[in-house]
Amino acid sequence: MAPSLDSYFQQVDTLSESFIERLRKAVAIPSVSADEERRPDVVKMGEFLASELKTLGAEVHLRPLGKQPHKEHLELPPVVLARYGSDKNKRTILVYGHYDVQPALKEDGWATEPFTLTVDDKGRMYGRGATDDKGPVLGWLNAIEAHQKAGIDFPVNLLMCFEGMEEYGSEGLDDLIHAEAKNFFADADAVCISDNYWLGTEKPCLTYGLRGCNYYSIEISGPGQDLHSGVFGGTAHEPMTDLVRVMGSLVDPQGKILIEGLDALVAPLTDEEKSLYGDIAFTMDNLYESLGSQTGLFPDKERTLMGRWRFPSLSLHGIEGAFSAPGAKTVIPAKVTGKFSIRIVPNMEIDDVNKLVEAHVNKAFAALGSKNTCKFIVQHCGKWWVASPKHWNFTAAAKAVERVWKVKPDLTREGGSIPVTLTFEQATGKNVLLLPMGSSTDAAHSINEKLDRRNYIEGIKLLGAYLHYVAEEPMNAAA
């Protein structure tokens, strides 16, 4: 099967240094979407991609998104839409990635210059955006180039959608995806996104599910302004006293959510599903290493993975309006806003969850008998996503993993949300596959972000191989 892969792989190895050079050029452009002053660099990065794609013979459009909401003086960076091939006899795969990056400053604690790709003696390639998501985005370009240089026919038509605002809420992207679903993306047969990570460092995975996230605020107010605790302590209801009690009523120290009725919304665990967790390449040591401590809730990996993927969780993020600086300040804060979120899973519907949470908060506050005022606010909601891992899109990817990495991939879900996944599924009606390139130790969003050379180069092979197996999958496989 996929007989031309060996020469493709060979070509990737031959070109590996130039592929690293391409990543070096991309990392050198500080395309930080959250930083207004870096906006020209974000645009420059989009133009760099467009130029590389044109050189490779792709049809490229820089699609403007207009002004940035709430920052009308700022133009959003363009979405790079590209097509490579338009053979009606081939399948068409739509791939998504993003070319913007998280902020990074040497002072934050980086061991190297964050915007200079620095490869150490173990092949760890450090640099902001190396793994999130410039490495994977360039992976598709590199796959095209290796096919060309090896003289192998490209197995599919490739549609590309690379955005420049992912790290800042993907402003404007949803509308574009919905608008292009019947236009630029019209012939897509399936979608592939490479913007997440392996569960560990050794075994690749395919990801078929994500938790959603509903984010809430509880605002408790009383006095007209902050008060001095010497003057008013002991005479007035204090908003902080009420807030920590309401926040404390949401979840217990063992992670059990205490909101009445919430459990009943969660899809029951079947024996079949239960049996899947034992085989996943994950150990408690993996958890402890990434936690940086041994403070896990559960002693076994099965329950830990379920806690991360298939059960809801509730985290208390912090309090706005209270004293939060170092030192000591004898203030009674007048208005405090507690922030928390719930990671939601099948079959929790957003509205049902919100109703239960609001009812719980109101009841918990009422029980305090406080004269303060409590306001419950839904900040934002995001649905969970689960795809069918039996679809040919996944089957092809699994074969590619086995060919490149000599091992069957784990089928995983993720605890976090990647909202664009659901948007692509809903807009195109096609199966979406998450096919990660990097590993769990890549430190996306942290200092010292890196992509291992091995994951990059074998990842380029994987993306190409995936497209070859996609081309071979029977048309009538499970949709």
Query: CB of residue 298 vs a copy of itself: minimum separation in angstroms?
Result: 7
Degrees to nearest 5, angle at CA 349 with 347 and 350: 140
Question: Is 369 a residue that touches a copy of itself (CB under 8 A)?
Answer: yes
Report the alpha-carbon distance of residue 91 to residue 277 in Å, rounded: 33
Encoded one letter per residue, x for contact with a copy of itself by CB under 8 A and - for no contact, window 247-286 reads xx--xxxxx-------------------------------
Active-site residue 242, yes or no? no
Active-site residue, from 52, 100, 133, 458 = 100
Report the alpha-carbon distance of residue 142 to residue 145 in Å, rounded: 5
Residues in Cβ contact with 221 at an 8 Å cutoff, skipping those fewer than 6 apart? 239, 334, 335, 336, 372, 373, 375
Question: Is 317 a residue that touches a copy of itself (CB under 8 A)?
Answer: yes
Q: What stretch of H or E contains 343?
A: strand 335-344
Backbone angles phi, psi at 39, to 5 degrees: -55, -40
Bridge partners of residue 90, in order along the sequence: none
Is 178 annotated among the ligand-binding residues? Answer: no
List the interface residues with a copy of itself, window 197-236 (CB under 8 A).
211, 213, 215, 222-236
Degrees to nearest 5, angle at CA 187 with 418 and 195: 20
Report the alpha-carbon distance of residue 294 to residue 81 in Å, rounded: 45
Question: Is 362 a residue that touches a copy of itself (CB under 8 A)?
Answer: no
Q: What stretch of H or E contains 471?
A: helix 453-472
Active-site residue 133, yes or no? no
Residues in Cβ contact with 101 at an 8 Å cutoff, skipping those fewer than 6 apart? 30, 31, 32, 33, 128, 129, 132, 134, 167
The alpha carbon of 434 is separated from its chain's Cα centroid by a whole number of angstroms, namely 10
For a copy of itself, which is the closer residue by CB, 254 or 270? 254
For a copy of itself, which is the closer residue by CB, 62 or 411? 411
Mark the segment that binds a copy of itself (CB under 8 A) among 60-68, 174-182, 370-378, 456-464. 370-378
Among 18, 283, 324, 347, binds a copy of itself (CB under 8 A): 324
Report the alpha-carbon distance of residue 71 to residue 156 in Å, rounded: 40
Report the alpha-carbon distance of residue 458 to residue 452 in Å, rounded: 10
Question: Is 311 a residue that touches a copy of itself (CB under 8 A)?
Answer: yes
Among 445, 454, 477, 479, binds a copy of itself (CB under 8 A): 445
Mark the segment that binds a copy of itself (CB under 8 A) among 59-67, 126-134, 362-370, 429-437. 362-370
For a copy of itself, which is the closer residue by CB, 151 or 326? 326
List the interface residues with a copy of itself, window 166-195 (CB under 8 A).
none
Among 73, 183, 328, 475, binds a copy of itself (CB under 8 A): 328
Cis peptide before 13 (omega within 30 of 0): no
Question: Is 339 a residue that touches a copy of itself (CB under 8 A)?
Answer: yes
Is 468 annotated among the ligand-binding residues? Answer: no
List the interface residues with a copy of itself, window 380-419 (CB under 8 A).
380, 414-417
Active-site residue, from 166, 180, 414, 449 = 166
Question: Is 331 a residue that touches a copy of itself (CB under 8 A)?
Answer: yes
Q: What residues are labeled active site?
A: 100, 166
* Residue ranges of the binding site for substrate: 195, 228, 330, 343, 417, 445
- Binding-site members are 98, 132, 167, 195, 228, 330, 343, 417, 445
